[in-house]
Amino acid sequence: MEPVIEMRDLTKRYGDQVAVDRVTLHVPPGEIFGFLGPNGAGKTTTILMLLGLSEPTSGWARICGLDPTRAPVKVKRISGYLPEAVGFYEDMTAIDNLRYVARLNGIQDSQARMRIAERLALVGLADEGKKRVGAYSRGMRQRLGIAEVLLKDPRVVFLDEPTVGLDPDGTQRMLEMIQSLSRERGITVFFSSHLLDQVQRISARVGIMLKGRLVAVGSIQELGQQSLGVGQERYTLEEVYMRYFRQGPMAAA
């Protein structure tokens, strides 16, 4: 199958600083891909280039065959992005916020009404739609962010630290929703996080970023055997990640 997300030698420099260093990666349709790394590793910069919000210094990327640099509007029509800090109009209700986003995306009001009701029900906010977002908890805001992402019926979604700051119940709800995007809707999920246990629970494969370089890609079992040997029946993502972390960016060489 054609990859939904594709990168080849994707690079971003800011003066003498290399934020993303020759990243090559393919993500197939419907996969939940865990994108790992410490703060400052280049994860968010990579996502911004994939969405056409930042231009690469060299290399290229494709989203469903589209070039984010040359066709950013087309890429945005088929993709959704949930940043770490979700922004809404605090004095507007959830429904009004989603209606505004729908209009920005050219969705007709009659269709938007149905989609908004369905998306709010999907994320467990059907009874909270008329409440002002300023009164929402962080978990409710994150769920509303998922509803917003799904308004466009995207083929791929990018989630940047979607569970940071959530309590255990909110985290569980968010992880279940992410899984349902892939399992029930066939959406490709690019899940950026540094919370290893959560990534292990839902991701088919992971990629590890260190200082701008993609040092490892594969299933946790594959990466465990590569980095720790074949003596274990099961590997944890923490074991695998820490081995690559200790080796540093040279692990990709």
Q: Give, for all 253 residues of the chain, the pLDDT tens digit.
A: 799 999 999 999 999 999 999 999 999 999 999 999 988 899 999 999 999 999 999 999 999 999 999 999 999 999 999 988 788 999 999 999 999 999 988 899 999 999 999 999 988 899 999 999 999 998 899 899 999 999 989 999 999 888 887 888 888 888 998 999 899 999 999 999 888 999 999 999 999 999 999 999 999 989 988 888 766 777 889 999 998 988 876 655 4
- pLDDT, residue 231, reads 67
Kindly state the tokens that stand for 93.
Answer: 């209700």
- pLDDT, residue 253, reads 44
Q: How far apart are CA 228 and CA 221, in angstroms?
A: 10
Give the closest residue to 147 by CA, choosing from 172, 167, 129.
129
Q: Report CA-CA distances (Å) from 250 to 113, 207, 210, 211, 244.
A: 52, 15, 9, 10, 9
Reduced to 3 states, what is the DSSP secondary structure of residue 154? coil
pTM for the whole structure:
0.90
Tokens 């065959």 correspond to what residue?
Answer: 65
